[in-house]
Amino acid sequence: MHSIPIVYQHSDFIVIDKPTNISVHKDAEKIGLTSLVAQQLNVPQVWLVHRLDKVTSGLLILALNQNAASELSRLFAEHRIQKTYLALSTQKPKKKQGLIIGDMEKARRGAWKLCTTKQNPAITRFYSVNCEPNLRLFILKPQTGKTHQLRVAMKSLGSPILGDALYGGNFDKVNRTYLHAYRLQFEYKGQFFDIQYLPKSGSFFQRNSVQAQFEQLTSV
């Protein structure tokens, strides 16, 4: 395997660009992601403090010591690390922007579904822009961290993520699920971090119409 891109390096943690279709846990692979990164850095261990779905690419923080792992895990648990994702869909949404709120429960085949109840809801803020006919870019800001939250939220809008086989996103035409963890904003030990990294893989992410929207996004 090629080396994992390191986007940012701090004495206590690193931020990598997790490739799509690599699990953050060992999964069925002979060697897990954290072991791969530890080998690459020539250190005994790195610590996982949050997770991304196997199909999702993008920014993932790995702690370099136990104290940093505890502190970063606490920041995630307290929702003090703001995350922004980018997604593509070929389906027009029920609404172009807003909040998606609802409890999530397990469905069939390892999927989840959004319910109308709001006892312990998943909350996602989103807005979307048209790139070209039948292709729309979504900017997603989860306020909670539920399993498959963004994929379920997009399906509930009538706009499943392009390439998402589990949630009906035209997966026969494409080579990946078009969901990418683009931005992390947080304060750590008195320093504010705003780390951004656009997706580097996926032909639809590289289309001129999508790249034009990325330019708008990064100029804000």
Residue 29 has a pLDDT of 59
Give residue 15's pLDDT band: very low, low, confident or very high (50, 70, 90). very high
Number of H helices, E strands in the chain: 4, 12
Greatest Cα pair distance in the chain: 49
In tens, the pLDDT along 27-76 reads 655 678 999 999 999 999 999 999 999 999 999 999 999 999 999 999 99
| Unique residue bearing structure tokens 């791969």 | 36
Report the pLDDT averaged over residues 169-188: 89
Q: Please give the single-letter amino acid code of residue 164.
A: D
Residue 200 has a pLDDT of 93
For this structure, is 12 an active site residue? Answer: no
Count the neighbouring beta carbons within 10 Å of the beta carbon of residue 149: 22
In tens, the pLDDT along 122-131 reads 999 999 999 9
The answer on pLDDT for 26 being more than 70 is: no
Which residue among the candidates 53, 103, 164, 194 is catalytic per the annotation?
53
Report the pLDDT averaged over residues 164-182: 86
Domains of the chain: 6-219 (3.30.2350.10)
| DSSP tag of 172 | G
Residue 109 has a pLDDT of 81
pTM, entire model:
0.93
Give residue 175's pLDDT band: very low, low, confident or very high (50, 70, 90). confident
CA neighbours closer than 13 Å in the CB half-sphere of residue 20: 16
The answer on pLDDT for 218 being more than 90 is: no
